[in-house]
């Protein structure tokens, strides 16, 4: 006998033993690696523009590059 159709199971991924079905990180949304890369690039550009407008006169842009890359790596790795 067939089980009744459940529309909630259409998008669900099958459970694999020893693997979480959703990734949990510090971002308030469920993401995959591409989403985290996109968020990292978006924040990189926003930080660079903010830095050039308000902080470049006192702190070199190289410092912003290092901080933005570190933030991007953190988001992709832990987000």
Give me the numbers of helices (H) and strands (E) for the chain, helices first please. Answer: 2, 0
Between helix 33-54 and helix 61-78 the angle, nearest 10°, is 160
CB-CB contact of 11 with 21 (8 Å) = no
Confidence (pTM): 0.65
CB-CB contact of 55 with 64 (8 Å) = yes
pLDDT at 79: 82
State the maximum Cα–Cα separation within the chain, in Å, rounded to a whole number.
Answer: 74
What is the average pLDDT across 64-74? 95
pLDDT in tens, 7-50: 666 655 555 555 555 567 888 888 888 999 999 999 999 999 99
Q: How confident is the model at residue 64 (pLDDT cuts 50, 70, 90)?
A: very high
């Amino acid at each position: 006998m067939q089980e009744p159709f459940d529309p909630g199971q259409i998008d669900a991924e099958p459970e694999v033993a020893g693997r979480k079905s959703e990734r949990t990180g510090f971002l308030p949304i469920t993401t995959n690696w591409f989403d985290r890369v996109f968020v990292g690039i978006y924040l990189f550009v926003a930080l660079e523009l903010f830095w050039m407008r308000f902080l470049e006169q006192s702190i070199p842009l190289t410092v912003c590059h290092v901080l933005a890359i570190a933030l991007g790596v953190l988001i992709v790795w832990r987000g």
